[in-house]
Amino acid sequence: MRLQTMQTYQEFYRIYTPEIKRVMDEGLVNLNAPAELIEAMKYSVDAGGKRLRPIMTLAIFQAFGGDIDDKIIKIASAVELIHTYSLIHDDLPAMDNDDLRRGMPTSHKKFGEAQAILAGDALLTLAFSWIADSNIADNLKVQLLIQLGKAAGPVGMVGGQVDDMLGVHKTYTHAQLVNVHNLKTGALLSYAALAGGILAQVPDSIVKELARFGLQYGLAFQVQDDLLDVEDATDLTKNTYPHLLGVEGAQQELAQLLIETEMVLKSIMAVRQFDYQLVSGLLSYFERKNN
Ligand code: GRG
């Protein structure tokens, strides 16, 4: 594989976010499924998220010499289906009971609780089909499916969500909080990063380092999210970094995590050439928010 011509992360993001939406929409409207179900699935998929997870997979895939096409975009978007399902279920009355998501009525407010639950279920299972039904080599498929199952399920995001819920009436230690967020938020981002490496067929040792990059990125993402919640004056009584460390402590933790995240990329660069500036561009998410 060859390294592509240098492209800034901003250009990459501008090109591929609409492509991700197009490929996801095509995958949804072509399903032989009840129109009402497709409508509810598409409503949440099209609600306008940042597409951070598929963008991470695609940027890493390209940075390690992969050529992006619709087939790769669809595989990369599987994790976005899971992310979307998690938000639909997280908003339900039994969980956060939110009326709005991304400025629009939540799925259960728009379609009713039963339809929202089923739209989430359908997005979760469809994610695995999009990988399993693709025409990449079977060994790559199996690796992706194993890793996605781990990241999304009981030893990943769902486990983290449960730990988070159980923590409502207690105060977690720093280590417990890190663990909750590694599972709840970090696991899917870690998958998104390693999936780019698996698709680009880099050695296992680099896939492992990419997973570490995604996990560190996810933790930084969560600290940032907690800090933004403080600015929005949401409550400080939950298990959050500002609650545990104070706002200044959480800001220091974020700065340290970002240094460590970049260090992981540098350590990969020491053993294998890749388009460093494209992948490190993923960290611009934090600059924007800090301005
Ligand atoms: C219900 C099984 C289940 C899991 C829910 C991810 C999650 C677990 C809940 C979401 C709650 C939350 C606000 C977590 C903080 C980090 C996070 C995942 C934020 C949302 O991700 P973004 O910013 O969302 O990538 P967009 O809207 O850009 O797609």
- Of ligand 1's listed atoms, the one at least distance from the Cα of 83 is 6
- Of ligand 1's listed atoms, the one at least distance from the Cα of 158 is 2
- Of ligand 1's listed atoms, the one at least distance from the Cα of 120 is 1
Q: What percent of the chain has pLDDT over 90?
A: 90
Quick one: pLDDT band at residue 290, thresholds 50, 70, 90? very low
pLDDT score at 289? 53
Q: What spacing in Å lies between the alpha carbon of 190 and ligand 1's midpoint?
A: 14
Which structure tokens are listed for 181? Answer: 């967020």
Nearest residue to 43 via CA among 32, 28, 31: 28
Nearest residue to 189 via CA among 153, 214, 207, 212: 214
Quick one: pLDDT band at residue 169, thresholds 50, 70, 90? confident
pLDDT in tens, 139-149: 999 999 999 99
C-alpha 44/C-alpha 58 separation (Å) is 22
User: Minimum mean pLDDT among 156-170, 221-235, 243-257: which range?
Assistant: 221-235
With a Cβ cut-off of 6 Å, ligand 1 is lined by 49-50, 52, 83, 86-87, 89-90, 102, 157-158, 161, 184-185, 222, 225
pLDDT in tens, 15-50: 999 999 999 999 999 999 999 999 999 999 999 899
Give the Å distances, CA to CA, from 20 to 79, 114, 179, 196, 226. 12, 28, 30, 15, 28
- Of ligand 1's listed atoms, the one at least distance from the Cα of 89 is 1
Q: What spacing in Å lies between the alpha carbon of 157 and ligand 1's midpoint?
A: 10
pLDDT score at 288? 55
User: Does the pLDDT of residue 192 top 60, yes or no?
Assistant: yes
Of 178 and 288, the structure prediction assigns the larger pLDDT to 178
Q: What spacing in Å lies between the alpha carbon of 86 and ligand 1's midpoint?
A: 7
Q: What spacing in Å lies between the alpha carbon of 87 and ligand 1's midpoint?
A: 6
Q: What spacing in Å lies between the alpha carbon of 79 and ligand 1's midpoint?
A: 12
Q: What is the pTM of this model?
A: 0.95
pLDDT score at 233? 55
